[in-house]
Chain A
Amino acid sequence: MSSTLLDAPAPPRQEIRRKRRPPYLPWLLLSATMVILGVLTGFPLVRLVVMSFQEYERAQLMGLPAEWVGFDNYAAILTDVDGFWTVLARSFVLMVVLVVVTIVLGMLVALLMMRVGKAMRLLVSVGLLLAWAMPSLAATTVWGWLFDTQYGVVNNLLTSITGDRWFGYSWLLNPLSFFVIVTCIVVWGAVPFVAFTLYAGLTQIPEEVIEAAQLDGASAFQRFRLIQLPYVRSIVTVLVVLSMIWDLKLFTQVFVLQDIGGDRELTSTIGVYIYQTGMAQGHYGVASAIGVIFVIVMLAIAYPYVRRTLREEEL
């Protein structure tokens, strides 16, 4: 089948001592991966789908056989406006806010890093790296402490700035300000990655292009809108998709802030809701159904990113 005429003449065989490699060798190398992913990703996924069609409560945990209930769990979720739909809507709104704020701030910081001198850029980088490196759990406790009701530095500073007494003001009890703090934690931790990536992209734009635009009298905003933004558009797209995925999965920050003093009913996001429904309340079947829906939503969001990556890798 191969077009032997067009191929370069093959080197004499004996020059390179090449034994014919057995065709099963790559699969042998992949076998451990296949076992691990099959048993610990594939199987749990199948089990999740199975459980979502069963009545699975605390009794089944004790050994009672799980009965098939068809789509009952899904019906229960999809008609639960106060529970599931509210949580889903909350998670999506929060995700949109987080993504927009993260990307906009990240872009502004990247542009700032382009504009300032070497010393200031180094200073900004050090700060960003510290924020980026912090584990999300430690970040959550720190921000919880900053906004602490009685002794937090935020209430302290607000008191001395405004003159009103802020001591005793609880940021976590009110769902709206609860999510303001969640936004602070997530954006604080996510902006560094976005800013560094965009900065790396912006530095690859040829200087002559910018200079030419400057000579033609383009304002800074015009240069950004007409030159810099189009150059880094594909990076922005990837960053948006990745941020959507990360922000929709939000668990640790919300869960631990609830521990510190939030209202679980009014502040849960999808991941936390699955934990509450399944692990805390024992409705494993219903929680599995929510999990299945969650997986489908995530894969749908990730689809463009996966396609783009595969195209870029030229597979």
Chain B
Amino acid sequence: MINIRKRLADTGFGALALMVFVLSAFPVYWMVSTSFLPNNRIRGENLAFFPTPDVFTLDNYRAAIFSPRAPFAPAVLNSIGVTFLTLVIALVVGFVASLALTRFQFKGRRTFIVLILVVQMIPGEAMIISMFRIIDGWQLLNTIIGLTFVYTAGVLPFTIWTLRGFVNGVPKELEEAAMIDGCSRAGAFWRVTFPLLAPGLVATGVFAFIQAWNEFVTALVIMQRPEAMTLPLWLRTFVQATQATNWGAVMAASVLIAIPAVIFFLIVQGRMTGGLVSGAVKG
């Protein structure tokens, strides 16, 4: 009797889990599926739920990439340029700063850390107006440099905060042991600590990459010219309601933007939840 009830419950929860999977995966599936379907199977009451070989097409990708209203190539180059520059600057500057905050004791250290934490809470959406005026004043509107500046300032506090955690995770004693064995302080750091930090640097860099790649609001304000658009702005031009939306092309464009973000995200997702949980569960 109890056995039957348990089996029934197991089946029920299994079905529930299946439902959670379907609900969370379906929109992603639908995006990919639609992007490979011809217009006559997207529009109309007879929907195709799967791009079978007889209807499979790459027309939507062609329509997205060769869209006359928003050129794809400059948008890709702008996005790659801004993302790459932001990533490099934020990592280098953030890494050096995190060293100062972990390996040194000095007056003002605590204040600085508090500041780094508080700065992350200031919403960028509130600052778009003054940011626009400042970048405009420097003649940097519609330039990769202008947008990179803003992005770097945006991701830097988070970068420092995360790297600080990683550096703290490498015990100082390791360095000291190397120094006793005759390494200089710098040598001990580069040969012992730095290699141990490599995974942390990769993870932090990927987060900076994803943030810059997906950012929308600031780009909207600073990159207004068509040739200055980043990929998110380029995607937006497809859904602006001036004419009937070509959903096939929109989904193809969405896939193109999502692929790098999803791949990089999957590489580092394991490190996302860890920090919040460790030490948070109290007995």
A→B interface (CB under 8 Å): 15-19, 21, 23, 25-27, 29-30, 32-33, 36-37, 39-41, 43-45, 47-48, 51, 109, 112-113, 115-117, 120-121, 123-124, 126-139, 141-146, 148, 150-151, 153, 156, 159, 167, 188, 191-193, 196-197, 200-201, 204-205, 231-232, 234-235, 238-239, 245, 248-249, 251-252, 255-256, 259-261, 270-271, 274-275, 278-279, 284, 287-288, 290-292, 294-295, 298-299, 302, 305-306, 309-310, 312-313, 315
CA A93 to CA B16, docked complex, whole Å = 30
- Residue in B129, B179, B255 whose beta carbon sits within 8 Å of that of A274 in the complex: B129
Q: What's the least CB distance linking A230 to chain B, in Å?
A: 9
The answer to whether A167 and B45 touch (CB under 8 A), given A41-B119, A127-B21, A132-B269, is: yes
Q: Report whether B20 and A252 are in contact in the complex, using a CB–CB cutoff of 8 Å.
A: no
Q: Which partner residue on chain B sits nearest A21 by CB separation?
A: B104
Residues of B within 8 Å of A45, CB to CB, are 122, 127, 130
Distance from B134 Cβ to chain A, minimum over Cβ atoms (Å) = 6
| CB-CB under 8 A for A299 and B28, given A29-B99, A44-B134, A142-B251 | no
CA distance A41 to B153 in the complex (A): 7
Provide the residues of chain B in CB contact with A124, threshold 8 Å.
Answer: 17, 20-21, 24
Which B residues are CB-close (under 8 A) to A109? Answer: 20
Residues of B within 8 A of A32 (CB): 93, 96-97
Main SS at interface, chain A: helix
Q: A197 contacts which of B217, B250, B273, B282 (Cβ < 8 Å)?
A: B273
Decide: A30 and B24 in contact? CB cutoff 8 A.
Answer: no
Q: How far is the CA of A128 from the CA of B28 in the complex (A)?
A: 11
- State in angstroms the CA–CA spacing of A312 and B279 once bound together: 8
Decide: B93 and A33 in contact? CB cutoff 8 A: yes
- A133 and B266 in contact (CB under 8 A), knowing A16-B176, A151-B44? yes
Residue on B nearest A159 in the bound complex, by CB: B45
Question: Hey, which chain A residues are within 8 Å of B157, CB to CB?
Answer: 37
- Would you mind naming 16 contact pairs between A and B with Cβ atoms under 8 Å apart? A36-B156, A40-B149, A112-B17, A124-B17, A126-B25, A133-B261, A133-B262, A138-B255, A139-B27, A141-B250, A142-B254, A145-B251, A146-B27, A153-B47, A278-B128, A295-B123
Task: Given A33-B97, A274-B128, A306-B114, decide whether A116 and B13 contact each other with a Cβ distance below 8 A.
Answer: yes
User: What residues of A have a CB within 8 angstroms of the CB of B18 in the complex?
Assistant: 120, 123
Is B7 close to A, CB under 8 A?
no
CB pair B127 A135 closer than 8 Å: no
Q: Complex formed: what's the CA distance from A141 to B125 in Å? A: 21
Shortest Cβ distance from B216 into A: residue:
A252
Within 40-96 of B, Cβ neighbours of A (below 8 Å) are at: 42-45, 47, 93-94, 96
> Is B174 in contact with chain A by the CB < 8 A criterion?
no
Assembly CA distance A205 to B266 (angstroms)? 27
Interface presence of B172 (CB below 8 A)? no
Residues in A with CB closer than 8 Å to B220 are 255, 275
A-contact 0/1 string along B235-274, CB 8 Å cutoff: 1101111000101001101110110011001100100111
Contact of B272 among A193, A205, A249 (CB under 8 A): A193
Do A274 and B126 touch (CB < 8 A)? yes
Count of A-B contacts judged by CB separation below 8 Å: 315
Give the distance to chain A from B46, nearest Cβ to Cβ, in Å.
9
Task: Report the bound CA distance from A47 to B86 in whole Å.
Answer: 24
Given contacts A136-B216, A278-B129, could you give 18 more A-B pairs where the C-beta distance is less than 8 Å? A21-B104, A48-B130, A128-B20, A131-B27, A138-B254, A141-B235, A142-B28, A142-B30, A148-B245, A151-B47, A239-B276, A252-B216, A256-B239, A275-B128, A291-B128, A291-B129, A294-B123, A302-B121
Q: Which residue of A lies closest to B165 (CB)?
A: A313
Which residue from chain B places its CB closest to the CB of A253 in the assembled complex? B216
Name the distance in Å between A93's Cβ and chain B's nearest Cβ: 18
In Å, the complex CA distance between A119 and B162 comes to 32
> What residues of B have a CB within 8 angstroms of the CB of A292 in the complex?
126
User: Is A259 a contact of B123 with CB atoms below 8 Å?
Assistant: no
Interface centre among A21, A109, A197 (most CB of B within 10 A): A197
The 8 closest A-B pairs by CB, nearest first: A40-B153, A271-B125, A29-B100, A127-B24, A302-B121, A291-B126, A133-B265, A127-B21
